[in-house]
Every structure is written in C-alpha cells, then in structure tokens.
Amino acid sequence: MTRNPRAVVFGSGHSALTLATGLLADGWRVDVFTRHSTPEILGHGAGLTQLTLPSVHATELALGLGLWQHTAPPAHQVRMRMLPSSGEGLEFTAPLPGAAVAVDHRLKSAYWLQHVTDRGGRVHERTCTSGDVTGFAASGLHDLLVVAPGVDSDLRHLFTPDPDRTGGATDRVVVQVHLAVPEDDLPDHAQVLTCPWGEVMLYPVLTVDGLTPAQVRTLSAADAPPVHVTPFAGVCVQVMARPGSPLDPTPAISPDGANGQTGAGLPRRHGAHARTAWTHVLGQLRTLDAELSARCSDHEVVTGSELVREIHPQVRRAVTTVAGRPVVGIGDATMTVEHASGQGAGASTWVASTLRDQIRQQRQANGALDAEFLSGAWEAYWARHGQYTSAFGGFVTAYWSGSLPEHVLSGFAHTVSTPEGAAAWAAGLDDPARMNRLLPL
C-alpha cells in the first residue's frame, strides 16, 4: 500500500498556510510549525494587513480559505491621488475587476491554522531553529520541506542572498492602525495617496479587538473551550514612509537615536511606540491631505491594531540543501515585495499555489521532488507572477525618484486619464502581468 506523501512547513504566515491547505487537499500529510498558539496570535499586536485583490481572493475561496467571504467589507474601486512636490497632481478612480477584501492578520493566521487542523493537518506550537530543520531533513520522514517563516526569523539565513534578482522593494517605515468606523461610513473603495514622502493607503478591513493577557491564559488551558472572537468592519490606514522623509516617525519614536529598539535590539512595533508613530504621521498628513487627516482623526483606533515596522528588503535563493535534502523557502523568507504596490498577499498566494500545482504535476509524472525540480517550480512562479510583481514594485519606487524618463511619466498619465485606461490599470493591479504590458516602459 502506497503511503500518502508527507510535508513539513516551518511557519504559519500567508504563504505557508496557503501551501499547507493545498497540499492537504491533494492528499498529503502535513505538519505545520508555528511560534504561537491561536489564543496567543489573537492576543498579540497586529501584523501588517494586506489587501487581497480579486484574483487572489478567488484562489483563497477555491481553497476554502475565504472564511469571511460574507462578512469582510469589500472594496470595488481604487482611488489614486498623486501629489508631486511641485506642479500639478494626478487623480483618478479605477474599478477593480471584482471585490477586494482585507482581513486583520491576527484573524487570518489564527483561523487559517484552525482550518489546517480541521482538514487533517497537524499543527505544532514550537519555535524552530535551523537545527530543527536539519533534524527533520536528516530524518528522511518527509517528502517535502518548506521554510516560510516571518521576516524576522533566523531561518531565513538558511538561504543565501541572491544578487541577480530584485523584489522591487525599498526600505520603508510602515505605520498602521485600524479605525472603528460606523457601518454607514465605511468606504467601498481603496484610497491611495502617493507622493515623494511615501504612500498612504486606506481601505475597508475586517478587524478584531485583541484578546487580553488574561483571556489568552484562560483560552490556552488544556480544557479551554474553542477560541471565539467577534470580528467587525473598520478601516485600515497604512502609511509607508520613505526613511528620512517628513512621514518617517523614527525621530519621534527615538529622539535619542535608539531606532525604536529595546536594549536587546528587538524592534518595538506595538504599544506606545506605535501610538507615537501614528500621532506623528497624522500630523504630517494634515500637510498632504487635510480632508484625509480629518477623517482619520474623527475615529477611534482599534486597540492592538497599531503597528510601526521597518522594512529592509531581502532577496534570497529559494532552494537550499540541508543535511543532503532540498529545502524550499517561500514568502518573506526569500523575497520582500514592495508593500506600497499592493501585491503582498498576491505574491504569497501565487508562490504557494504555483508550487502546489508544480508538485502535483511532478508526482503524477512520478518525478522526484529534488533540488532541481524545486528550483524549477519556483522559477515557474517567477515567470508567471514574480517578475511582474517585482517590476510593478520597482515602478512604484522609481516614479518619484527621478529615474523614469518623461515619456514614461506622461504615458502613464495619459493611460489613466480615460475610463478605459483606468480600468486597464486596475486590471493590472489585480494581475501584474497585465500591468507589465500596460506600463510604457
């Protein structure tokens, strides 16, 4: 009797759980390692919220991961406002080719983990080291080893830097809050303000009040009932500041030059530091868009949703060898996507779904899941999605850098000046391969 193939996934982020769910659907036995339990995730400070665009949302629904498809507030349009330092700005509205949604990272991680368990996957609450990966590789018990941890995980160092490729991202300081907004005041669109200082994004989100430490302890007990929280609709505001710009909150957070870190060098992303960062950027927003600033000031910040985070891009080779076994890395472990491009969720979903499809085809052909195959599978993702996501992220960065020729800037303005051109741009936002054909590069 042929046994079911086995996979081990180190990490519980978007790409990790998307791949784990797909492999389970294909008959795999899957072990997922996560640093935090469901109550701990729901009691922790918020992670970076991502807007899930229509094509990616459809893929999540097909995998059964659209757990909030009837409750997450949709965005049907993108309203873009571009503010140069001098001269006339550019403003347009573009209809998306379907509904985009956003779900609080805590909700998504906690309940996608539960979904993996419900589908027969085994979830282990344990912080893993490179030694653990080596041990699993040496045991030979798993047919596939996947590393997909958060950007801060030391496991990323298993993979060597890749100087020949770029993810299109640049250094940023991101400040995020969720706002409690009455239902009749919820926007039905994603609003983007872009200028030389950085980008500001505002869109509807399904959010949640974080669990208190006491609730986390109670719900972590062995005889505790299933975790249940009540999500509600709000608005996500994200400010992606370029370091050193007026939007950068670093001086306000660390006037003594400590870069917002503890004595141990750990980043302070939540709590008072995040609230100070929000106060700073809110003041700067008054200069850029007084109406937007007033709208943000009118609503209460959802407790626990505050986040300030430095982003330092990294690109690493996606396949390495550990104890003689190939290990594939996906997500932030190997590629940083420019968050201001809106492609973070898409990159995570597409790399996971492409890898799953390639593995399924390889197994049907009785082929080996060796290093050559895994490298080719990741290249298949790059050819279909990754290179275009990277190019679009690079365009977002280059727009204000002065590196784009005048004909590119004027060509973009001409394209989005018509309803048809704006709709084509929104379709490219949903699928960067289309954007690549649209941008006059």
| Cβ(34)–Cβ(113) below 8 Å | yes
DSSP output for 232-288: EEEEEEEEEEPTTSTT--HHHH-TTS-TTB-TTS-B--SHHHHHHHHHHHHHHHHHH
- Facing residues of 241 across strands? 173, 198
Cα 76 to chain center, whole Å?
A: 20
Band the pLDDT of 2: cuts 50, 70, 90.
low
Domains 6-35+126-167+314-403 and 51-103+171-311 share a fold: no
Q: What gap in Å lies between CA 303 and CA 44, rounded to an integer?
A: 11
Would you say residue 161 has pLDDT above 50?
yes
Query: Residue 199 contacts by C-beta under 8 Å, 6 or more apart in sequence?
Result: 192, 193, 239, 240, 340, 396
Written as six digits, the tokens of 379 are: 């290249």
Q: Strand pairing partners for 177?
A: 237
Work out whether the CA dihedral 122, 125, 129, 132 comes out positive or negative: negative
The pLDDT assigned to 195 comes to 93
pLDDT in tens, 114-134: 999 999 999 999 999 999 999
CB 435 within 8 A of CB 425: yes
Q: Are 13 and 308 in contact (CB under 8 A)?
A: no
Among 93, 193, 137, smallest CA distance to 319 is for: 137
Report the alpha-carbon distance of residue 351 to residue 386 in Å, rounded. Answer: 8
Q: Find the mean pLDDT for residues 55-66.
A: 92
Give yes or no for residue 44 having a pLDDT over 90: no
Cα 308 to Cα 48: distance, rounded to the nearest angstrom: 9
Looking at residue 266, its pLDDT comes to 34
pLDDT at residue 1 is higher than 50: no
The pLDDT-based confidence of 263 (bands split at 50, 70, 90) is very low
CA dist., res. 376 & res. 330, Å (int): 14
- 393 vs 54, which has greater pLDDT? 54
Distance CA 336, CA 315 (A): 6
Per-residue pLDDT at 357: 96
How many Å apart are CA 344 and CA 4, to the nearest integer?
A: 32
Residue 155 has pLDDT above 80, yes or no: yes
**pLDDT cut 70: percent of the chain above it:** 96
pLDDT recorded at residue 196: 93
Fold of 6-35+126-167+314-403: FAD/NAD(P)-binding domain (3.50.50)
Asked if residues 224 and 218 have their Cβ atoms less than 8 Å apart, the reply is yes
Report the topology of domain 51-103+171-311.
D-Amino Acid Oxidase; Chain A, domain 2 (3.30.9)
Is the confidence at residue 268, as pLDDT, over 90? no
* pLDDT higher than 80, residue 34: yes
Name the pTM for this structure.
0.92
Domain boundary assignment for the chain: 6-35+126-167+314-403, 51-103+171-311, 408-441
| Percent of the chain as helix, strand, coil, to the nearest 5 | 40, 25, 35
Contact 311, 336 (CB under 8 A): yes
Residues in the chain: 441
Is the confidence at residue 255, as pLDDT, over 70? Answer: no
Q: 414, 439 in Cβ contact below 8 A?
A: no
Q: What is the pLDDT of residues 329-387, one digit of tens each?
A: 998 878 888 888 888 899 999 999 999 999 999 999 999 999 999 999 999 999 999 99
How many angstroms separate the CA atoms of 388 and 394, rounded? 10
- Torsion of the alpha carbons at 13, 273, 251 and 241, rounded to the nearest 10: 40
